Structure 1
């Protein structure tokens, strides 16, 4: 759960009053500048949001309102759902807001940051901290700049493949358990649980620390997941995609990412296949598709044969 104290610690905010309320939860990723509310319009007051006061809000509150209006509107701003107030630009909060926050046990905070700067970084922080999250059994690596999530049943060799990819110069993000946050539609960020960060479990060898063995350049704290490679044991009676025209996806939370099904059997160099899959994914994002090009050639060849036979 995200609380006001987390925001205070992250942005080094000064507490003016309301210290007893710093453990209040923050539930909204949005922040508000309550200009309309200061002017007296409370019909759509977003009271569950962090409230920011910049020079405009503070000056209007101090100069355009009567004493009675300042006291009344300060009380209306302070609700049970309001997590905190933050005054930016080293502004001094009006005494009416200090008193209202004190009475309602709402943290009143202050920073030297500009309001534009704080809004940008605070919104980004809240989006990530409050994003929907889940855990997936698999391995996450950065392969040629592409976040590749390798999944498959236990014992198929995901960690061994990850080790080979790391030896080839790619970077490990997480092994066995991947923590995933959805910070936007089809935008998934994966990282490792702190307990197993930088570690790989190799059956018959045990736990190894890849950063200690290969250096800091082979690990990454987090990565956007762009491609899923799902491994399964080769089934002789199953027809696998040979052209690359099948469009598979994997659903994680409310997002979809492209997925490739790779059958595993002795003699196949799966790590090389994953490297090629990542490179091909990059090319497809640039509009280059070998499968589509082959299909177009095949259609053109068939048409030329048909025309020649007439």
Structure 2
């Protein structure tokens, strides 16, 4: 009866649920970082065909990873206010349906990238998929407060994919872009965990605010925000062809993000973790936009 009910859902609802499984907003942000890496690698806007083929294949891979993550986490998603309305915990989709969808997306991604772009791009994207599913979702998320520190590396792969697609090799510059996203991930997700702490406590997920408390978490966030500044500036001294315009923009964005993060440690902060969370999204988009602007201007 359950499968019959699922099968008779309106097509519009089924399509919406499939889209929800892929987390399209996260795909959009990660696709931006991949595209920016392609621009820097070629020193110009890449061809439409290369851009569409690369970003389509990457989106399939990221969407597949997210779908399998939701399949694996369906038990704890039921316990969290933020996630209980997702297709699986709400009962709108069957677990086997979601798992099959995730595997299909990743398989399609590898074939697409390998045939339409190059094998290195396909392999790099697949490595990010495996890291997210196996290292973060299965191993770290429920076991360690360092879950998003180490597991967050999965979200750092898109610049590698973009660079590989544009050049068919990997140099120092894409790895430095990887490091920028890696250092950005902890303050970004810990800001979310600070204002959603009760959700994580209810699901028994050992996020840093749950295990170590707010004060320690904020100190760690400030540390990573500090490390981000020299890391983003270091892109100027690679083969990325970035000039002083980038240095000014990266320094300005870095200082603003650091000040917002550090403001959380004040006795009576006028900023909330939620605002820092959204500010971190703008910061990351701003840094990679600055990379593109400086590349095209130089």
Q: Same fold (TM over 0.5)?
A: no
Higher helix content, 1 or 2? 2
Larger Rg: 1
Higher RCO structure (Cα 8 Å, ≥6 apart): 2
